Amino acid sequence: MIRNIKDLQKAIEPYIINAMELTGRTIYEKLKEKVDAYYSEEVFREPEKSTPDVYQRTDMLKNSLFEPIIEKKGNTYSFSTGFEDDYLTYEYPGNPEWKRNIPATGQDVLEWFNASSHGGIVKGKHDFWDEAIEEINSEYGGITNLFKQNCKKVGLPVK
pTM: 0.88
pLDDT at 50: 76
DSSP 8-state secondary structure symbol assigned to residue 142:
S
pLDDT at 54: 67
* Residue 36: half-sphere exposure toward Cβ, Cα within 13 Å: 6
Give residue-wise pLDDT tens across range 23-60.
999 999 999 999 999 998 888 877 877 777 767 788 99
Q: Which pLDDT band holds residue 103 (cuts at 50, 70, 90)?
A: confident
Task: Please say whether the beta carbons of 65 and 82 come within 8 A.
Answer: yes
Q: Which pLDDT band holds residue 69 (cuts at 50, 70, 90)?
A: very high
pLDDT at 25: 98
Mean predicted lDDT score pLDDT of the chain: 91
Q: Which pLDDT band holds residue 100 (cuts at 50, 70, 90)?
A: confident
Residues facing 69 on adjacent strands: 80
